[in-house]
Structure 1
Amino acid sequence: MDHNKFHGIFTALVTPMDKHLEVDTESLERLVEYQIAQGIQGFYVGGSTAEGFILTSEERMKVLETVIHAAKGRVTVLAHVGCISTLESIKLARHAESAGADAVSAVVPFYYKAGPQEIRDHYRSIMSSVSLPMIMYHYPGATGVQLSLDFYEDMARSAQCIGVKFTSMNLFEMQQIRSRCGGDWIIWNGHDEVCAAGFLMGSNGAIGSTFNMMPKIFLRMYQARSANDWMNVKALQEQANLVIAHMLRFDVIPYEKHILYLQGVIRCPAVRQPLQQLTDAQKAEIAEFYASSPVLVQTGISS
């Protein structure tokens, strides 16, 4: 397997919706084309940023098919198939394989407080249902599940389990996973605001939500990291964090969609409940910040 295809900057795509809150495939295709034109190296489809747990399974399949069709094999496509139900995860994994995804990924089953053995069996059941590589999704801030280093080392022994999307601020844990699982096991940084630190701690790249609205700055950061230009990596992270700090005053997904709408990438910034529904005053505040931000304005289609 060519692990290099799983290195780099991957966008955790939003799911554009129309004013009736139906999936807007035309805007999604436009977003995919825009991201590829910017130089993005892959997509993470159907995860948290995609409103994956708010979509139906049929909608998740439709979104993945749309992305794969629009990408036309030009970038790597990772399909998030994680559900609380193992059977539903298997259904989505089998669909992902038939649709042409390059790998599947799954967050741990949550809510029912499954133990380590049940979580291990969950992953193994998904993997045994397909031939695609598996990428674990570690997001304790959302799932409430914290796995041990022994668990990661055990999973890494499977040739099919090739890495982890690591969405945690505990970068010591990231470094320890790297140490325990070896240099070939792939680690993607998940929290965009510490992407530079993730690079220092051993990540092979990043899967990020804010890459939807500002892909170029993270691509430049990855290039600087590859050139060991760490001062530039730090400076670029600081520029990105000016945007992220403003974004965190709102709900992340509505904010990103509104920026993409202002950039002319998607036709409608709608999000489904229970996500935050931006007020007119909040939209005006975001638009004012957008107009003043060179990082955001320079990436938009309409600018």
Structure 2
Amino acid sequence: MSFTARGIIPAMVTPFDRQGKVSKDGLRKLVDYLIEGGVHGLFPVGSQGEFYALEKEEKKKIMEIVLDQVKGKVPIYAGTGAITTKEAITLTKMAENIGVDAASIITPFFISPTQNELYEHYLAIAKSTSLPILLYDNPGRTGVNLSADLVVRLSKVDNIVGIKDSSGDMSLTAEYIRRTSNDFSVLAGRDTLIYGT
């Protein structure tokens, strides 16, 4: 698959109004602000966007607003991760139908899947969509880590094109880079490590 994740792709916060509803105006202003700042992509509905507290319809609305406001200027990497494979597939298909450019899928949280179960989870999602997929490793938030061996296996799946690594473990990040092909993107998910990748 010829899709390369690169550059500065900020994880977007989700602005809410005083009633706790997604602020459509605030979201549009945030998109404009980030694009004017020179980013290379946008990542809505991720950890910073409080995906875990959003209902499916809210996620859909956020993706639609971001897509409309971006107007093709930069790629959109929508967060479609969930605890279950079934829900992650549903969210990924929804994102694909909306028209985002890629899906970023965090490891399941609350449960403790094995590395082989994680392989099957990501493989099932990848088979369900034509979207490019970024794996998302954030063990500090999920309690689940993607090993270098697993990432190497998953990097061979055609539409799994990279990983957002928020582990903070530079040795692991280096292994991801060293052991995967040049067309597999490794993105630093921690600001303190941005120069390392």
Q: TM-score, normalised by structure 1?
A: 0.63
- For 2:33 and 2:148, the matched residues in 1 are separated by 38
Identical-residue share of aligned pairs (%) = 35
Q: Unmatched 5+ residue regions in structure 2?
A: none
Q: Is 2:173 the counterpart of 1:147?
A: no
Structure 1 stretches of 4+ moved >3 Å: 1-4
Structure 2 distance, partners of 1:31, 1:189, is: 22
- Partners of 1:146 and 1:10 lie apart in 2 by 22
Matched with 1:41 is: 40
Taking the TM superposition and a 5 Å limit, the aligned residue runs for 1:197-216 are: 198=196, 203=197
The Cα of 1:2 is off from its aligned counterpart by: 4.2
The structure that has the greater radius of gyration is: 1
In the TM superposition, what are the counterparts of 1:53-72 in structure 2 within 5 Å? 53-72=52-71
CA distance in 2, matches of 1:179, 1:194: 17
Letter in 2 for 1:14: V
Aligned equivalents of 2:26, 2:83: Cα separation in 1:
29
2:45 alignment partner AA: G
For 1:1-303, list aligned pairs within 5 A.
1-4=1-4, 6-196=5-195, 198=196, 203=197
Deviation per CA, 1:270-301: give whole Å up to 9, x if none: xxxxxxxxxxxxxxxxxxxxxxxxxxxxxxxx
SS at match of 1:121: helix
Q: Following the alignment from structure 1 to structure 2, what is the Cα–Cα distance between the partners of residues 100 and 67?
A: 11
Q: In the TM superposition, what is the alpha-carbon distance from 1:36 to its structure 2 partner?
A: 1.0
Give the count of matched residue pairs: 197
- Tell me the secondary structure at the aligned position of residue 77 of structure 2: strand
Q: How far, CA to CA, are the matches of 2:20 and 2:175 in structure 1? A: 42
5+ residue gaps, structure 1? 204-303
* In 2: Cα distance, 1:87 partner to 1:155 partner: 19
Query: Which string of whole-angstrom CA distances, capped at 9 and with x for unpartnered residues, describes residues 254-285 of structure 1?
Result: xxxxxxxxxxxxxxxxxxxxxxxxxxxxxxxx
Counterparts of 1:123 and 1:54, CA distance in 2: 22
* Matched position secondary structure for 1:174: helix
Verify the 8 A CA contact 2:123 2:157 in the aligned structure 1: no
Q: CA RMSD in A?
A: 1.2
- Cα deviation for residue 43 of structure 1 reads 0.4
Aligned-partner SS, 1:43 = coil
Q: Which has the higher helix share?
A: 1
Paired residue type of 1:47: G
Residues 3, 132 of structure 2: 8 Å contact kept: no
Residue 147 of structure 1 deviates from its aligned partner by 2.6
SS at match of 1:112: coil
Deviation for aligned residue 1:80: 0.8
Give the secondary-structure state (helix, strand or coil) at the position aligned to 2:161.
Answer: strand
